[in-house]
Structure 1
Amino acid sequence: MEYSDSIIDIREQYPLLPIEETLLIAKELGIKHPRDPRTQEPVVMTTDFIVSVLKDGQHVDVARTLKYKDDLVNERLLEKFEIERVYWERQGVNWGIVTENEVPKTIATNIAFVHGYADLSYIEDFQDIKESELDEFSVYLIGNLLSEEMTVRECAQQIEMVYGLSAGCGLTLFKHLIITKAIEINLKDKLDVNQIISIKAVRTDFSEKVTAI
């Protein structure tokens, strides 16, 4: 969701308030409202994700609960979901359940591979590198990737050799370029740095610099 251009905001474990609303819904449905097992007091229910999506130029909120498919045979769990569903229906918000079957595994794995590299200031070897230097390194790496003459790993090793960077910096920069969308690749295919990877697009600010080389 963080990688998607259409998602504006993500709120996790969103409380269904006021609690009187879910208590009323539970009563109407004849379902026991979730309670604290120790005190037996009603607890505030939550929805895993409330996501603001940009749709036709408008911000639209959708509610999504995540559960493994095999868990959906649990009758008590389904009762809680019914309270949740009715709550969001009355709020006029689209609600749904997402299982592992709805998450494209290859795309998720690829994003997980690069996700931690959006901010390089937290990575030791990049803390003293100026923005102008980072731009120069990026342009050089993108140029080599676009030539499609070397694997990603070979491109990474070459930039380390040319600029005297520590081992691993080239791949770190490659991951940074993907997660910040400076370059676009096909995330539907398994990301293998030991292969030549085609670059589908280059962000305008870098594209102009690469062309000028």
Structure 2
Amino acid sequence: MEWSTDLSTYPTYWHSRLKRGFGLGTGSNYRPWLRVRDVPSDGSSGNPKGITTGRTYHLLSKLERIYFHYLDRQPDVVDIREQFPILALSETQSLCAELGVKHPAAGRYPEPFTLDFLVTRQKEGRLVYQARSIKTPGDAADEKTRAKLNVEYQWSERNALDWKLVDVSGFSDDLQSTLVFMRGWFSHRYSADERIANDFSQMFLKLYEPNVPLKELIQACASRMKRGYSLAQNDFRYCAWSGLIPVKLNSKLTMHLPVTLDGKR
């Protein structure tokens, strides 16, 4: 799914932003309609670099950051577009009139609805698009917010786009810190080797003990495999990120604490 670059199909007051690519493109060429600087923040926004696309993202809340990291490690996800605008203005205006919802506007000019995420997955040789909205439980219960989400849902439904409000009940600080810890291999510019990753994960699971600090387990693996400790740290991070080592995501993950694995006590 991609919007046309023909400016004549859009209101003239959007042209300056569209000429700069906002809301257009895919993959590394996509530019979100809204950026961190455009939206008031309580300090929970962020600009991580994506592993899937290699570009810098504009995430407006802690919940968005958690969901982004969650998506970025899934092997069937081939594109993640944040703050994706619905540029079909006549369609959303018609829906708002039908549903009795006030359309977003900047002054007297209508603004597009924006999907928090448009996710592209590769499924059985074809691309599948998913619209996902991220809201705190409080916002999700707010009547005005729910009315706007209904416009997103109705528009998506009429355009054969799978839309869902993401369940954020399990989005904890530990989940966020664990995902960031695991993806450290990427920020450290570690070059993954699948053969070494398979060997490391097998060694780690063989030596694993639930009460041993992670640092000691990595040191033991490094010694057995004759690899430097720093390199072995990134071996672990990559194996955890890619699922070769099944780390329990909602547990605290640091070098000085034991690591909890899914299915292990």
- Give TM class, smaller chain: 0.5 to 0.7
Q: Which runs of 5+ in 1 are unaligned?
A: 201-213
Tell me the SS of whatever aligns to 2:80: strand
Q: Name the structure with the higher helix share.
A: 1
Tell me the SS of whatever aligns to 1:100: coil
Q: How high is the TM-score relative to the length of structure 2?
A: 0.56
Show the counterpart of 1:114: 182
Aligned-residue offset at 1:196: 6.8
* Counterparts in 2 of 1:186 and 1:7: CA distance versus 1, 3 Å: same
Show the counterpart of 1:148: 208
* Counterparts in 2 of 1:154 and 1:138: CA distance versus 1, 3 Å: farther
Is 1:16 matched up with 2:77? no
Contact 2:172-2:250 at 8 Å conserved across structures: no
Q: How high is the TM-score relative to the length of structure 1?
A: 0.67
Identity of aligned residues (%): 22
Higher RCO (C-alpha under 8 Å, 6+ residues apart) = 1
Show the counterpart of 1:28: 98
Question: Aligned equivalents of 1:171 and 1:185: distance in 2?
Answer: 16
Aligned residues: 188
Show the counterpart of 1:178: 240
Contact 2:182-2:237 at 8 Å conserved across structures: yes
Tell me the SS of whatever aligns to 2:147: helix
Show the counterpart of 1:93: 161
Contact 1:148-1:197 at 8 Å conserved across structures: no
Question: Aligned equivalents of 1:7 and 1:83: distance in 2?
Answer: 26
Question: Aligned equivalents of 2:76 and 2:96: distance in 1?
Answer: 34
Question: Aligned equivalents of 1:192 and 1:9: distance in 2?
Answer: 29
Q: Which runs of 5+ in 2 are unaligned?
A: 1-70
Question: Aligned equivalents of 1:188 and 1:152: distance in 2?
Answer: 15
Contact 1:34-1:42 at 8 Å conserved across structures: yes
Aligned-residue offset at 1:157: 3.3
Deviations 1:142-194 (A, max 9, x none): 5355233765311333538x96947x55434321332244x332435734654
